[in-house]
Amino acid sequence: MPDTFYGTGKRKDAVARVWIMPGSGQITINEKTIEEYFPRIALQQLARQPLGKLPEGTTFDIKATAAGGGLTGQAGALRHGIAKALVQYSEELRPEMRAIDAMTRDPRVKERKKYGHKRARRGFQFSKR
């Protein structure tokens, strides 16, 4: 059994590549601690949510790279990646990750601009005369 497990998490335009390995519980994102990378506590809690479903006494070191989108999207992508890596570690965790909705990718992305329009949906103003 390998000692490192990998998961790719995505949310909106953000992508997080996550490696988990047995360790002391240290989380590193783009060479920074989670507290440095996500200054808001809510984002830290969101990213750590899948770890709360682990059996008692199980700790992992997490190394991740996050790119694209904003901080909230990256926190969601990190959560998705951690959940996928944990399921790779133990398939029995899948129902628990599904229960907290961590296995579902958030597909919402910015809608593209259409030709003949000023923006994605805004057409030109109609003038009868």
* Rounded (10°) angle between helices 41-48 and 71-89: 20
pLDDT for position 61: 95
Q: Is residue 128 part of a domain?
A: no
Q: Is residue 46 part of a domain?
A: yes
Q: Is residue 23 part of a domain?
A: yes
Q: Is residue 12 part of a domain?
A: yes
Which of the residue ranges 5-19, 63-77, 112-126 would you say has the lowest mean pLDDT? 112-126
**What residues make up the domain containing 52?**
5-99
Mean pLDDT of the chain: 92
Q: Is residue 112 part of a domain?
A: no
Contact 102, 83 (CB under 8 A): yes
- Where residue 13 sits, what CATH number does that domain have? 3.30.230.10
- Grade residue 116 by pLDDT with cuts at 50, 70 and 90: confident
Q: Is residue 113 part of a domain?
A: no
Mean pLDDT of 3-24: 94
pLDDT for position 55: 84
> 47-85: per-residue pLDDT in tens?
999 998 888 778 899 999 999 999 999 999 999 999 999
Residue 19 pairs in a beta bridge with 6, 63
Mean pLDDT of 4-27: 94
Q: Is residue 17 part of a domain?
A: yes
Domain count, the chain: 1
Mean pLDDT of 76-102: 93
3-state secondary structure of 70: coil
3-state secondary structure of 29: strand
Q: Is residue 74 part of a domain?
A: yes
Q: Within its chain, how far is the Cα of 7 from the centroid? A: 10
Token pair recorded at residue 38: 């996500």
Count other Cβ atoms within 10 Å, centred on residue 88: 15
